A and B are shown apart, each in its own frame.
Chain A
Amino acid sequence: MSGVIFAIDPMLEGNVLWTPLLIVLVKVLLVFVVGLVATMLMVWFERKVIAGMQNRVGPNKAGPWGILQTLADGVKLFFKEDLIPERSDRFMFRLAPYLALVPAFLAFAIIPLGGDFRDGKGGLVTLFGQQTRLQLADPPVGVLFALAISSIAVYGIMLAGWSSGSKYPLLGSVRASAQMVSYEAALGLSLGAVLLVSGTLSTAGIVNLQSSIGNWNIVATGFVPFVIFLIAATAELNRPPFDLVEAEQELVGGFNTEYSSIRFALFFLAEFMNTVTMSALIVTLFFGGPQPIAIGTTTLDIPFIPNAIEGTVWLLLKVLVFLYVYVWFRATLPRFRYDQLMDLGWKILIPGSLGWFMLLAAQRVGRDAGWDQILVTLVTALVLIGGYGLLLAAQHVSRVNREKDGASF
């Protein structure tokens, strides 16, 4: 590949520019390894924490505190028999695990994993004389890349269920596609609120603006988009309480029922990788990513660690909080019923995030035009409440009509 680039693009020729290429290669390798190790530890973390919440011991045999349990499971899965059902679509059946895994790794590429965002340095660190960011890619579309990737991730699950040639996986994948498409709208709209406040799409730019707690987007966007994003992200990940895709009690095992051996392991890996990525994305968007916690101008500094590495430590701490929250959700919340899931998505989250987005937009316009902020907020809130009232009235009417037709709830 590098040979091809050099042959066609003479700009990269010469000894000086070997360093950026090397840095990129090292970054790719590093992000891949960090992703894999983080996923491995996440599986162990989830099993251990959930065991604690349920008064069990959890994995404790492989390695200290059972930390190598995932590795042992992975090796075991490698050596198991790989079954392909007779009535399956063989090509799609083989392709589906990779369609699930590749987006999971790609999304990790745009997360700023560290760097020094203090004193206007903007997350740039100097490596071997090159200014670079501690993130694999900073594409011009920034956060939209994550959105695009999460909308691609659904293919793996859909095709896995369909190509199995069996009814329970098919039901699981039909549920998955409906659920993921529905919640993506709410995810995108609450992301829109963040973009409106930040004024940039770049993840590094979004992190750079959140220098103290008062500037964190969770405060700047007024908390509601964060809540909607968290709920929608949980649904996108198909994690409890939104794990209807693989509801064991109803669908045997969901979309991955027919999968065994390493193909099953790939789905498992993709799912946990997505959890880690989504937690990191939440931290990046709403909690300042690798920025240290700061109130006003006083910064909570970790002594003896250089600022560039300190960013990674802060990111790790913040992501750990959300990983714990996801495990906590799983241990405490019962699964939604399918109609409840759709009601929550379409009747509460989407109107809610759209309304909040409009409120933020109105405030921006008001600030630019020099209107009274309180008045603008009040008027917008009244309009939104009126709109929501109309929505409720419409729902009531359609419900009454359906009951007249003989439907029962």
Chain B
Amino acid sequence: MELFVFVVAAAMVLGGALGVVTRSNPVHAAMSLVLTLFGIAVMFVSHNAHFLAAVQVIVYAGAIVVLFLFVIMLLGVDKAEDLSVEPITNQRPLAAIIGVGISAIVIAAIVSSRAGLGASGEGVDKTTLESPDANIRQLARVIFSDNVFAFELTSVLLLVAVIGTVVMARKTKAVGTGK
């Protein structure tokens, strides 16, 4: 059963990811991204990380990709791109080099740590399986006690990003001059 779920979810993730790269229509690409995110959510569920799955769907599929689509529709760039034009010279060879490089790094990481691949982990905490709410309690305890500083820093970072966007997006003709 676990294998079955994994195969289906992996097919969703990979198919979606391929769609994101290959579809020339931005809206279709964004919908492929949604498929990928759902596949990841399914994998979270199969590993008993129910809360992460819900957050994945609510935040990524429900808000972020919706904003992508919103921007695509609002800016009117929802036409299929003309792929014969290269805005940056030699961008295709460069992209190929970077792509091969990143895959090499990932493969190297897997190969160097292959000793640990066969070992099984500790498994899911018993309390998590017995009471679903314990899952969230554990997450909350980790985030708000051990990692509270990183958590708060992240929220400050997001706040800075929001304020920065507002400041940069506003066209002020005469700030401080009084007229």
Contact = CB atoms under 8 A, between A and B. Distances in A.
A199 B70 CA distance: 35
Interface in A79-112: 89, 91-92
A140 B63 CA distance: 22
B66 interface: yes
Contacts of B24: none
A89 B27 CA distance: 10
Contacts of A142: 132
B58 interface: yes
B73 A140 contact: no
Nearest to A148: B57
Contact of B54 (A145, A158, A405): A145
A184 B66 CA distance: 12
B132 A181 contact: no
Interface string B51-83: 101110110011100110110011000100000
Contacts of B67: 181
Interface of B: 1, 3-4, 25, 27-28, 31, 34, 50-51, 53-55, 57-58, 61-63, 66-67, 69-70, 73-74, 78, 132-133, 135-136, 172-175, 179
Nearest to A9: B1
B61 A141 contact: no
13 contacts: A4-B4, A92-B28, A140-B132, A148-B62, A151-B58, A151-B61, A158-B73, A159-B31, A173-B73, A177-B73, A200-B133, A404-B174, A405-B174
A174 interface: yes
A130 to B, nearest CB: 20
A401 B66 CA distance: 31
A154 B62 contact: yes
Contact of B73 (A8, A147, A174, A202): A174
A152 B34 CA distance: 10
B69 A152 contact: no
A181 B69 CA distance: 12
Interface string A368-409: 000000000000000000000000000000000100111000
A158 B69 contact: yes
Q: For chain B, what secondary structure do more than half of its interface residues adopt (helix, strand, loop), or is it mixed? A: helix
Given A200-B133, A201-B133, A151 B62 contact: yes
A178 B70 contact: yes
Contacts of A89: 25, 27
Given A140-B132, A144-B54, A174-B74, A92 B27 contact: yes
Given A89-B27, A155-B34, A202-B132, A148 B63 contact: no
A53 interface: no
B50 A170 contact: no
Contact of A148 (B27, B54, B70, B135): B54
A8 B3 contact: yes
B172 A405 contact: yes
A148 B51 CA distance: 11
B57 A184 contact: no
Contacts of B172: 401, 405
A404 to B, nearest CB: 7
Interface string A231-261: 0000000000000000000000000000000
Contacts of B175: 401
B62 A144 contact: no
A5 interface: yes
B16 to A, nearest CB: 14
